[in-house]
């Protein structure tokens, strides 16, 4: 009986050991059939981590590793995609624009993740305050009461104003790509130029004395509408309010009224302008460019006053 009892215990031990071996072998088979991937995750702050996972969907891998994607971040591959062959997930800021550089080979277009990352270009945003000029307007007042003989008199000289404009400017690779005006502040108001058209009483009174032409030797120079010739108030308009025109406009002293015709070298000019240095028998002929005015130089010529 004792021998039979020992034999029963031995059989039970054998059965238990067999069951344990079967369970362990099954677990080993299950472990072998489960494939684990090594995934590299690059965060937007530059931190890089490596994880082991049996998941292939990007969103699931991030969730398992307690990684939350912010609204201003982009994930490559996207959250709904499967992990790519590079086993790499990249999280970056959306303000960084991706430029893909392709490599052409016999097999077609090839590009690597490293190429894409190396060609990211950041956008810089700046608030810039710029000073700009405000142009003045020319206002003409006619008080001649319909008289045929009139002359223009500048009542108020025009002056440009100044304003400060604030812009939001975006730069990429140090080049401006967009500009938005935020505000502007007028620092100095523009002053309008006021020209009065009035009856030329002097011309009517002296018309009889000027019926016969007379010739006088004048010192004749040249000028243009640049700041070197006309100073900071250079505008291209004459003291009489007309647009300075080459071949027509001359500046003369106040002894010659606006509108007086002068014959110089076979060309008839009109007195339309004044000048601080234009006195006596001095005349300044208007040219389109400063170079032409300099080339003219100083000449002493007979000038015929024909009107």
CATH classification code of 37-121: 3.10.20
Q: Which CATH class is domain 124-194?
A: mainly beta
Question: Which pTM was predicted?
Answer: 0.33
Place 228 in a pLDDT band, splitting at 50, 70 and 90. confident
Q: Which of 14-28, 199-213, 233-247, 283-297 has the lowest mean pLDDT?
A: 199-213
| pLDDT value of position 149 | 83
pLDDT digits (tens, 9 = 90+) for 64-121: 898 888 888 888 888 889 887 778 999 988 776 444 444 444 555 555 555 655 555 6
- How many Cα atoms within 13 Å fall on the side-chain side of residue 178? 7
Domain ranges of the chain: 37-121, 124-194, 207-305
Who wins on pLDDT, 27 or 237? Answer: 237
pLDDT digits (tens, 9 = 90+) for 268-297: 999 999 888 888 889 999 999 999 989 998
Place 31 in a pLDDT band, splitting at 50, 70 and 90. very low
Q: Which CATH class is domain 207-305?
A: mainly beta
| pLDDT value of position 295 | 92
| Fold agreement between 37-121 and 124-194 | no
């Amino acid at each position: 009986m004792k021998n039979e009892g020992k034999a029963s215990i031995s059989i039970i031990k054998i059965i238990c050991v067999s069951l344990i071996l079967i369970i362990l072998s099954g677990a080993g088979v299950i472990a072998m059939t489960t494939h684990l991937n090594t995934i590299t995750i690059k965060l937007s702050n530059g931190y890089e981590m490596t994880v082991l996972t049996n998941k292939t969907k990007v969103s699931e891998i991030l969730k398992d590793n307690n990684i939350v994607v912010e609204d201003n971040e982009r994930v490559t591959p996207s959250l709904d995609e499967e992990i790519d062959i590079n086993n790499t997930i990249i999280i970056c800021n959306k303000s960084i624009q991706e430029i893909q550089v392709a490599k052409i080979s016999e097999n077609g277009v090839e590009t690597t993740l490293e190429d894409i990352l190396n060609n990211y270009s950041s956008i810089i945003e700046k608030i810039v305050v710029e000073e700009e000029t405000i142009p003045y307007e020319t206002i003409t007042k006619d008080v001649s009461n319909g008289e045929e003989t009139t002359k223009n008199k500048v009542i108020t000289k025009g002056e440009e104003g100044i304003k400060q404009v604030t812009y939001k400017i975006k730069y990429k690779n140090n080049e401006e790509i967009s500009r938005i005006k935020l505000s502007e502040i007028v620092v100095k108001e523009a002053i309008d130029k006021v020209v009065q058209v009035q009856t030329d009483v002097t011309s009517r009174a002296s018309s009889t004395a000027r019926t016969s032409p007379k010739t006088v030797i004048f010192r004749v120079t040249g000028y243009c509408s640049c700041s070197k010739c006309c100073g900071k108030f250079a505008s291209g308009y004459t003291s009489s309010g007309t647009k300075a025109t080459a071949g027509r406009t001359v500046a003369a002293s106040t002894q010659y009224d606006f509108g007086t015709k002068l014959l110089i070298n076979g060309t008839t000019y009109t007195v339309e302008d004044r000048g601080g240095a234009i006195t006596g028998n001095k005349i300044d002929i208007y040219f389109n460019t400063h170079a032409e005015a300099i080339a003219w130089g100083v000449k002493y010529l007979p000038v015929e006053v024909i009107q």
